[in-house]
Structure 1
Amino acid sequence: MPVAPVGGGTEAPVTLLLVEDDDVIRRSVALALERYGYRVAPAADGLSGLELFREGGHDLLLLDVMLPGLDGIGLCRRVRETSTAPILMMSARGDALDVVSGLEAGADDYVVKPVDTSVLVARIRSLLRRAAFTSAGADATGAAAAPADGTRLVFGDLTLDTAGLDVFRAGEPVALAPTELRLLLEFAASPSVVLDRQTLLRNVWDYGWDGDTRVVDLCVQRLRRKIGAERIETVRGFGYKLRRS
């Protein structure tokens, strides 16, 4: 039975950009997602997908890794140049190189084809919740505002405004993708406390089962590049912790 997507009710349907070159897979995935109430904008290659993305109006991108013209990894990188929209990669083999490359390029998560529709929808909903949470903290213009008194968490040169969900490094705003922001908030809630990867998968990615911890490791790497490599410390054999200073 179809279940209303995030933002259901009288709101406009959530629109997904699906880029998949296999006609059968593209049509079957689109049909399955439409049964769950999503609106799907399909594209058969990377360049067409990039063109559709630039037209705007998509709440989440679902990208195959192997695409003609511009592959999914390249498309993900192009999208990340201008957007923090949620990106879910699809890999035919679950190949380690595909997974790592996609996550390094800026994807939030990945699924392995063939994927069960219920699993795919669960991943999509999780990403949309993170995006909605991030959007709720932005002001009407989307610009970062100065943190309000009583809502600031300060870690060295890093300031996190927990009310406006804005991040500043040395006074300059830092643009974080929804998953990166959720990850930072999870660390900031327990500074100096070591968080293992499975805990982060449950709390940030909403995994109700054991997932691929490479997702965590690569998102931590991306977050480090934006807030300072020294800010998140690796505790070998255990996990990660946010340094207070």
Structure 2
Amino acid sequence: MSSKLKILVPVKRVIDYAIKPRINKTQTGVQKTGVKFSINPFCDIAVEEAVRIREANKGAVESIHAVSIGPTKAQDVLRTSLAKGVDSSTLIDVGDAEVEPLVVAKLLRKIVERQQSNLIILGKQAIDDDSNQTGQMLAGLLGWPQATNASKVVVQGDVVTVTREVDGGAETISAQLPLIITTDLRLNEPRYATLPNMMKAKKKPLEKLTAADLEVEIQNRLEILKVEEPAARSAGVKVANVDELIAKLQAAKAL
């Protein structure tokens, strides 16, 4: 007998993907004042997939819960998720603290226990730190199977089949619930949150917690020494023929 799906979708608030980040004056990170923030694109894909699973499996999904770890302003990405079809949400307010993937995974494990989730769908990485670690660490903490870089997800009762991108092609795997899936860009195209649905989202539950409420200590193991812009690339040159191209490559010791 198949279990009801209780889906958890972690979402992160990041600088909008269309904005070019700038290094701050102290060279300790990127400038965050006065820039637009939005939901991490991979997290948006995860939200869309959770909603699509419910639409494709009528009556199989009991709930979809979104959780975000960040400042108070991260409520906006949760409201966007609620407007797209998520049922309820939790904000773990950590203020302006930079939270590393292992701490994120520990906080998410607590939410999994509170929500009794059996399917977790999250973006494979966030576009700010590009760690691509949280899903794998959470799977390790929970002792659950995982399917990373998913480009297709099919749910049939307690069995989930995932097609994932690997070097040189695609790999199809299946696992029984509970399961963790991390999403790739080609999994789906997220829907827009309409204004009427944004208004309805204001009435949906948004729980607010702190790391202390979940008995998790925010402890970072990495120290950022300096952040710099990449070196400017020199201008290219045109060559008249293949022989000249080879000569220049040899002179540059690229061949």
TM-score by length of 2: 0.31
Bigger proportion of residues as strand:
2
More helix by share: 1
Bigger RCO of structures 1 and 2 (CA < 8 A, at least 6 apart): 2
Structure exhibiting the larger radius of gyration computed from Cα positions: 2
